[in-house]
Amino acid sequence: MLKSPTSAVVQSRKLVKTVARIHHADSTNSALKANMSTEEPIAVPSSVPGGRLPRARRAREQAPDGRSATKPPSMGMFPLGYKEAAYQWWNSVTPTVAERNVIACIPYLREAVAAGTTSASAVPSAEHPSETQTSAKIDPYGPRVWKSTMVALSGKNRSMNEFSVERVGEPAEDTLVMLHGYGAGLGFYYKNFENISRAKGWKLYALDWLGMGNSTRPSFKICSKDPATKITEAENWFIDALEEWRKIRKIEKFTLLGHSLGGYLGVSYALKYPGHLNKLILASPVGVPEDPYAVSAEMPEPMDSTFQDEFTVDQQSTTQAHKTPNANQPEAGAPKKRPYPPWLVWLWDANVSPFSIVRLAGPLGPRFTSGWTSRRFNHLTPEEKQTLHDYAYSIFKQRGSGEYALPYLLAPGAHARRPVINRIHRVGRQTITPATGTDPAVRETGIPVVFMYGENDWMDVAGGLAAEEKLKQARVKALLGGTEEEKRKENGSVKVLVVSKAGHHLYLDNPDEFNDYIHTELEETRQQTLRERA
């Protein structure tokens, strides 16, 4: 599964050469673009039928009214200059401060304080985070307080970074746990915390996965030799920590919201630790389809959006609606492309993460980080964009840990080695308590599963639609073969939602619509909780 270089020296040399090659390509492209006239017509390859651009490209280059759209000036692959990068590297804040700066962008919420230390009125709010006295502005949906905690787990150097929001003076009978994707951090949900925490009866938690974000970074080791066992061991490294956190917080059941890799691991958690989820919300989950290049009659044609879009497509184009239906669909009969260059496959299989390049770059680390942040956050205000850039760099530069699990879980291009589609039908159908000599087995009777995708997502919604069919079939089978008690308690359901004007980071691209969908799901879960306790 993983190809190890012959020596650490060879790996280091290849990595340095790759970094140099990327830098050289960036410099060459910038020079070429500077010499090109904006009036010069675009040459159309002769292989394109009729001399027309592919539909995906035509859609991107056309305005909503059909006219040719004006392209924004190119920023280059890494827009941050060398001098500015070195300055940011020298003056970079600690990861904890970077996270608090992101939290400071959240309106209304106040930081919780220990009893007797100070009055709530003296706690800075998000509106004035640096002042000694808070704004007189009253929380119209509260009062609510947030708290940031490092939750110690068993073992050496194992703690999970936790952010929580609770409603003061109100009982919280339901719990939402939000989990980020690969290499990210809980701070990326900053546009969702305030809105989602308006729901009464809920307490919100956001966690950094062990070995990512601002959680501790223990050494990641795989001891297994068998490929299938390696996958299980890599999954368990994360989900066992999540289960230990649940026990420490004494949470019996909760709703899990996982984005990207967080959604993939959420499925793994539901299968290994049944009986603890009220609902599973998968926001643009990675690893759903089995084979993205195979044409299957059971699945719609995959979109022409690929993993490379995460690093090349800017967020302003992502957050625009496409009037033309199926604009990203490939031309009929077009062959499937494997868009991953050999050097990317080598880096992936050699377990050289993109964060390794950031760490190796030293003073140029912020420059390499800007290649991603300048595109992911260019739809935000300049201040928030800089805050998110600083936060991302503070995470990326930390010691490598959980990031090294990636090649064990996913193949190049973010395709799962153990696809979700082959096991999604077992979610909510596991045995909680095995049968004994006197008592029958206690089984789950289904849980609601929600798939969410962005309108312009590079994750293919076809995977979610195929999973929807499998879950529906599992429900029918359970109703036909279950006991009368199991039929009465049947709670399985599934839906696929699409957030408009959004891509893979749908929670950040269109937070208003995303939050509205989450509110609806939380209200449905809340009503179910009230019915069960009536």
- Residues with catalytic roles: 260, 457, 504
Give the Cβ contact number of residue 363 at 10 Å: 14
Residue type, 82: Y
Measured distance CA(422)–CA(416) in Å, rounded: 11
Q: What is d(CA 414, CA 473) in angstroms, rounded to the nearest whole number?
A: 27
Length of the chain: 534
Q: Which DSSP letter does residue 217 get?
A: -
Q: What is the DSSP string of 46-103?
A: TTSGGGPPPHHHHHHTB-TTSSBPPPPPP--SS-S-HHHHHHHHHHPPPHHHHHHHHH
Contacts of residue 483, defined as CB under 8 A and 6 or more positions apart, other chains included, come to none
Say how many C-beta atoms besides its own lie within 10 A of residue 481's C-beta: 9
C-alpha to C-alpha distance for 6 and 3, rounded to whole angstroms: 9
Q: What is the DSSP letter of 296?
A: -
Cis before 143 (ω within 30):
yes
Residue 441: CB atoms within 10 Å:
10
Q: 134 in helix, strand or coil? A: coil
- Residue 180: which of 202, 158, 207 has the closest Cα? 207
**DSSP-assigned states of every residue in 184-211:** --GGGGTTTHHHHTTSTTEEEEEEPPTT
DSSP line for 316-349: HHHTS---STTTTPPPTTPPP-----HHHHHHHH
Category of 276 on φ-ψ map: left (φ > 0), alpha (ψ -120 to 50) or beta = alpha
